[in-house]
Homo-oligomer: A and B are copies of this chain.
Amino acid sequence: MTASLSSLFTPCLVLDEAVMQRNIDTVADRAGRLGVTLRPHFKTAKCIEVAKRQLHRNARGLTVSTLREAQFCLDHGVVDLFYAVELAPSKTEAICRLIGKGADLKCLVDSPDAAEAIAARAGDTTVPLLISMDMDGYRCGIPGNGAGLKRLANYIHGRANLRFSGLMAYSGASYGLDSAAEKGRLLEDHLGAALAARSTLGIECPTLSIGSTPAFMNAERLLGATEVRAGIYVFQDLFQAGRGHCGVSDIALSVLTRVISVQPERNRFFVDAGGLAMSKDRSTRGYGFDAGYGALCDAGSGELIDDLVIREVHQEHGVVSSRSGKPVDFSGVTIDRMYRVLPNHSDMTAAAFDKYFVIDGQGDVVDVWPRANGWEPES
Binding site for B on A (CB under 8 A): 6, 9-12, 43, 65-67, 85-91, 94, 110-111, 113-114, 117, 132, 134, 137, 139-141, 172, 258-263, 266, 270, 272, 275-277, 279-282, 314-317, 319, 334-336, 347-348, 351-354, 373-376
A86 to B, closest residue via Cβ: B260
Q: Which of A65, A276, A353 counts the most chain B CB atoms within 10 A?
A: A276
Q: Hey, which chain B residues are within 8 Å of A260, CB to CB?
A: 85-88, 114, 140
Chain B residue with Cβ nearest A281: B280
Residue from A134, A140, A352 whose CB has the most chain B CB atoms within 10 Å = A140
Total identical chains = 2
- Closest beta carbon of chain B to A264's beta carbon, Å: 11
Least Cβ–Cβ distance between A101 and chain B, in angstroms: 17
A282 in complex: contacting residue of B137, B280, B353, CB < 8 Å? B280
Contact A375 B86 (CB under 8 A): no
The answer on a CB contact under 8 Å between A316 and B85 is yes
Given A85-B272, A352-B351, check contact A334 B140 (CB 8 Å): no
* Residues in B neighbouring A12, C-beta threshold 8 A: 375-376
| B336 touching A9, Cβ below 8 Å | no
Complex-state Cα separation, A260 to B314, whole angstroms = 33
CB distance from A377 to the nearest CB of B (A): 8
Chain B residues in 8 Å Cβ range of A348: 275-276, 280, 315
- A276-B140 contact given A258-B88, A261-B86, CB 8 Å threshold: no
| A375 & B280 in contact (Cβ 8 Å cutoff) | no
State whether A137 touches B266 (Cβ < 8 A): yes
A88 to B256, CA, bound (A): 13
Of A6, A117, A262, chain B has the most CB atoms within 10 Å of the CB of A262
* Chain B residues within an 8 Å CB radius of A317: 85, 139-140
Closest 6 CB pairs of A and B: A140-B261, A9-B376, A86-B260, A88-B258, A280-B280, A280-B281
- Cβ of A316 and Cβ of B65 under 8 Å apart? yes
12 A-B contacts, Cβ less than 8 Å apart?
A6-B90, A10-B88, A10-B375, A86-B261, A111-B335, A139-B319, A140-B263, A275-B281, A275-B348, A279-B279, A279-B280, A352-B352
**What CA separation (Å) do A85 and B65 show in the bound complex?**
35
Tell me whether A86 and B140 are in contact (CB under 8 A).
Answer: no
A6, A11, A336 interface centre (most CB from chain B within 10 Å): A336
Question: Are B262 and A111 touching (Cβ within 8 A)?
Answer: yes
Q: Are A374 and B354 in contact (CB under 8 A)?
A: yes
Interface centre among A85, A132, A137, A347 (most CB of B within 10 A): A85
Query: Which residues of B sit under 8 angstroms from A319, Cβ to Cβ?
Result: 139
Question: Which residues on B sit within 8 Å (CB–CB) of A258?
Answer: 88, 90
Closest-by-CB residue of B relative to A337 is B88
Question: Could you say which of B11, B114, B141, B263 contacts A335, with CB atoms under 8 Å apart?
Answer: B114
Q: How far is the CA of A134 from the CA of B113 in the complex (A)?
A: 58
Determine the chain B residues whose CB is within 8 A of the CB of A281 once the complex forms: 275, 280
Q: Which residue of B lies closest to A115 (CB)?
A: B335
User: What B residues does A280 contact at CB under 8 A?
Assistant: 279-282, 348
A336 CB contacts on chain B under 8 angstroms: 88-90, 114, 117
Q: Are B85 and A139 in contact (CB under 8 A)?
A: no
Q: How far is the CB of A370 from chain B (nearest CB, A)?
A: 12
Inter-chain CA distance A252–B376, complex, in Å, is: 22
Bound Cα distance from A163 to B140, whole angstroms = 59
Q: Closest CB-CB distance, A201 to chain B, in whole Å?
A: 20
